[in-house]
Amino acid sequence: MIALRQILMPTDFSEPSAVALKYAKEFAGNFQASLHMLHVVEDVYAAWEAVPFIIEDIEKNAQRQLDELLKKAEREQFRAQVVIRRGSPFVEIVRYAREQEIDLIVMGTHGRGPIAHMLNGSVAEKVVRKAPCPVLTVRHPEHEFVMP
């Protein structure tokens, strides 16, 4: 039998991430697993570290958004860990999954134009390739769970 004890839900606060959160909560509830939410402040902002209040404002805003996504009661219900890291999103997601011995990563995907995808690749695609555990990618909101 598959046992999911630790579920990671990386978020960039997009619509696909919001849909992925519904899946992550459902899996966490059904398996009585801990839910980890991770937001990565991208390296792009690292140059701004010379002006510390800018990066601090970005992280404070991210923390507010995380608090809105997972209320206190849900944090307790899912024994949630809410984490913000700095770096490359795919690297930090994979690193966190290894460090925390995550059993499943649930994440949204984005529709990108072919040129942007060719140049940058997809964070979800890179995570799927390098993750130490299975990855469930959630693509479009119209394919959500149908509740009985």
Residue pLDDT, tens place only, 90-100: 999 999 999 99
CATH architecture, domain 6-143: 3-Layer(aba) Sandwich (3.40)
> Between 32 and 120, whose confidence is greater?
32
Q: Domain map of the chain by residue range?
A: 6-143
Q: Is the pLDDT of residue 82 over 50?
A: yes
Burial class (CB in 10 A: 0-12, 13-18, 19+), 23: buried
Instruction: Name the pTM for this structure.
Output: 0.84
Mean pLDDT computed over every residue of the chain: 85
> Between 14 and 112, whose confidence is greater?
14
Which of 67-71's residues contact partners 24+ apart within 8 Å by CB, and which partners?
Answer: 69/11, 69/13, 69/18, 69/21, 69/37, 70/21, 70/35, 70/37
**pLDDT score at 36:** 98
Q: Please state, in angstroms and rounded to a whole number, the distance separating the CA atoms of residues 78 and 106.
A: 15
